[in-house]
Structure 1
C-alpha cells in the first residue's frame, strides 16, 4: 500500500476506514474490450476513478 517509490522504511501503512469500490461499464465498452475475470484485469482497461463522500453509515 502507498505510493510507489516511497523508500522510507520507517513509514507504517494502516487502513483508516473500510471503503467500497464499484466498477461500472457500458455494454458497448465490454463488447469491444478484453474480458474482466479478476480485479487486477482493470489495470489493462480505461478507468475513471471518482472519490465520493463516505455514506452516512460509515460515519
Structure 2
C-alpha cells in the first residue's frame, strides 16, 4: 500500500508534510503541517502513514 503522506523541504530546517494524493499540505486537528523541524516532521509523517494504512485496511475489510 502506498504511503499517503510525504515530506517536502521548503527551506533548510523547514519541512512540510504533504498529502501525496492531493498535493496539498496535510492538516491535523486543524493545524497545517508546514514549517516543521526535520525531526518533528519525520516523526509525524511516520505516525500519519501508519494511521492511514490502518484506516484503509479497516475500510477494505468492511467492503
Class of the TM-score when normalised by the shorter of the 2 chains? under 0.3
**Relative contact order, CA 8 A, sep 6+: which one is greater?**
2
TM-score by structure 2 length? 0.27
Higher percent of residues as strand = 2
Q: Which of 1 and 2 has greater Rg?
A: 1
TM-score of the pair, normalised by structure 1: 0.28
Greater share of helix:
2
